[in-house]
Amino acid sequence: MSGKKTNGKKKLSKKRLVLRIALCTLGAILLIVGGYIIYVFSSYHRVPDNQVLTPQPDPSRYATMDRVPPERIDLLPGEQTYTIMTYNIGFGAYTPDYSFFMDGGKSSWAKSETALKENLINIGNTIETYDPDFVLLQEVDEDGTRTYHVNEVAYMCATDYYQHVYAQNFDSPFLFWPLLEPHGANRSGILTLSSAYISSALRRSLPVADSLTKIVDYDRCYSISRLPVGELSGAFAFGGFTPSSSKELVIYNVHLSAYSTDEVREAQLSMLFEDMNNEYQEGNYIICGGDFNHDLRSNNESGSVPGWAQSFPKEALPSGFTFGFDTITDANIAHDSCRNADEAYNPETTFTVLADGFIVSNNITVVRYEAVDLQYAYSDHDPVIMEFILEEP
C-alpha cells in the first residue's frame, strides 16, 4: 500500500512540474509580448511639422569643394522646356519576382545587400538615361533593417545633380514581423534632386491615423522645395544672388498613405491642396508630384480593388490645378505606374494602376507626359516623366 501511495505522489509531482513549466513558459511569453508592445508604442513618434530642410550641398561651399559642381540651370518663363521625373523606388528591394508581406506577399527585406546595391545602381542609371532636370523619389531608406543599413540617399545623390533635399518620412520602431524575416526598424523618406537652385525647403507632416493602424502605416509627409524663377546674378558661388523675378517654382514631393482609412486620406489631400492653393494665390508656379496611392485615372470602383488604389477625387482639386496628363491629348499613360506586390509580377494576373504622377497649376504648360514602361524591373513602381514650360506672367 505504501508503495502505491509513493507512486501516486510521484505522478502528482510530475504533473505539477509540467504545469509549472507550462505556466512559467506562458508567463515568459506574455512578458516578452507585453514588453514588446510597450516598446513599440513608447517608441512611436512623429517627426515635427514645419521642419526646415537645408538643401545640400550649400552653394556657398562650392568654392572650397574638390569637385567641379554640376551645371546649374536657370528657370526662365517662355520657350524653355524642363523635364521632371517621379519614381517610387520601393526601398530598392523590388525586382519583378519580389512580393511584399504587407501586400499579401512573402518577403520583408531586399534579397541581399549585393542585390540591393545592384538595384540601386540600375535605378540611378535609369534616371541618368532620361536626364531629367528634377527628380522626385519616394521610399528612399536612409537606414533600415530591410535594406541592410545601406544609406540609399547617398546612392541616389551620386547622380550628377546640383542640389538635393531629403525629408524623413518615418522612423519606425522594430517591427518583429514576419517572424522568420522581421521587417525591423527602418528610417525612410522622400528625396528631391534639382539642377536648378533651391533657395529653401520645408517638411510638412500629413495627418495620420490615431488608431492602432498608425503602427503599420507609419508617419507621412510631403516636402516643399522653393526655386527662384529668372536669371540668377551676383556672387552666386558664395551664396549671394539676386533673382530677376519675384516668382518661384514650388515643387511638392509627396507620398500619401496606402493603408489608412478614407477619412485620413481625405484629410491628407485637403491639407496638401490648401497649401498648394496658397502658393498659387501668391502667383507662383506649382508642381506636385509623387506617389498618390490612388487610381489617378479614377476608373476603379470602390471595393473592387485594393484599398490603396481607390479613385482619386479630382473634383476636390483647387481651381487652377489639374493632372498634367489631362492637359494634353497625346499623353502616354497607357502603362500603369504601380503594381500590387502580393505576387511576383505577372502581366496577365497582377493588379496594376496609375498611382504616380504630377499635378500642375494652370500657369504651367505640359508638352509631354509619359508613364515609362520598365515592366517593374527595379521597383513595384515605374517612373513617370513630364516636360513642361513656365508660362510668361
With H, G, I as helix, E, B as strand and everything else as coil, classify residue 6: helix
Binned at pLDDT 50, 70 and 90, residue 82 comes out as very high
How far are the Cα atoms of 103, 180, 382 from residue 97, in angstroms, in the given order?
14, 19, 15
Same domain, 185 and 286: yes
Average pLDDT over the chain reads 86
Which string of DSSP letters, residue by residue, matches 28-71? Answer: HHHHHHHHHHHHHHHH---PPSSEEE--BS-GGGGGG-SSPPPP
Q: Same domain, yes or no, for 62 and 10? A: no
Higher pLDDT, 7 or 87: 87
Q: What's the pLDDT tens digit per position in 105-136? A: 899 899 999 999 999 999 999 999 999 999 99
What domain range includes position 6?
Answer: 1-43
Clarify whether residues 58 and 24 are in a common domain: no
Confidence of residue 235 (pLDDT cuts 50, 70, 90): very low
Contact 260, 213 (CB under 8 A): yes
Mean local confidence (pLDDT), 239-251: 75
Bond before 207 cis per omega within 30 degrees: no
How far apart, in whole angstroms, are the C-alpha atoms of residue 207 and residue 260?
Answer: 10
pLDDT digits 0-9 by tens, 271-307: 999 999 999 999 999 999 999 999 998 765 555 678 7
Q: What CATH code is carried by the domain that includes residue 106?
A: 3.60.10.10
SS3 225: strand
Q: Domain check: are 33 and 122 in the same one?
A: no
Q: Which DSSP symbol is given to 301?
A: P
> Per residue in 304-356, pLDDT tens?
678 788 899 999 999 999 999 999 999 999 999 999 999 999 999 999 999 99
pLDDT at 7 over 90: no
Same domain, yes or no: 38 and 112: no
Q: Are residues 268 and 135 in the same domain?
A: yes
Cell numbers at 307, concatenated? 484599398
Whether 30 and 133 map to the same domain: the answer is no
**pLDDT interval class at 210 (50, 70, 90):** confident
Q: List residues bridging with 255 in a β-sheet.
A: 291
- Judgement on whether residues 298 and 188 belong to the same structural domain of the protein: yes
Residues 120 and 31 in one domain: no
Question: Could you tell me if 229 and 89 lie in one domain?
Answer: yes
pTM of the model: 0.88
